[in-house]
C-alpha cells in the first residue's frame, strides 16, 4: 500500500499526495511524490523542525536537477 500524505498547494487547497520515492543527497532528504491517482510527480525537500515535517517544492534550478538526476539513477 502506498504512503499517502497531504500538502497545501500554492492556492491553499489541500491535496492528497502519493509517495513515489525517498532520496538522500548532500546530507538533505528529498521525496518524489505526485497527486493520488495521477501521472504527475514533483520533487520536495524534506525539513524536520520541532517534530514537524515540512515539504518544500523544488521545481527548477541546480537543486532540482541534482535530485532529478539521482532519482533517474534509482528508477
pTM: 0.82
Residues 6+ apart with CB under 8 A from 18: 2, 3, 4, 33, 34, 35, 36, 37
Domain limits for position 15? 4-74
Digitized pLDDT (tens) for each residue of the chain, 75 residues in all: 679 988 888 899 998 999 999 999 999 999 999 988 888 899 999 999 999 988 899 988 999 999 999 998 886
Task: Tell me phi and psi for residue 40, to 5 degrees.
Answer: -115, 155
- The cell numbers describing 27, all together, are 546530507
Question: Hey, which residues does 42 pair with through a beta bridge?
Answer: 33
> How many distinct structural domains can be found in the chain?
1
Amino acid at each position: 500500500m502506498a504512503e499517502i500524505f497531504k500538502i497545501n498547494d500554492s492556492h491553499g487547497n489541500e491535496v492528497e499526495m502519493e509517495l513515489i520515492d525517498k532520496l538522500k543527497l548532500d546530507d538533505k532528504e528529498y521525496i518524489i511524490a505526485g497527486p493520488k491517482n495521477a501521472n504527475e510527480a514533483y520533487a520536495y525537500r524534506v525539513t524536520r523542525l520541532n517534530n514537524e515535517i515540512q515539504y518544500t517544492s523544488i521545481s527548477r534550478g541546480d537543486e532540482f536537477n541534482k535530485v532529478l538526476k539521482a532519482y533517474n539513477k534509482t528508477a
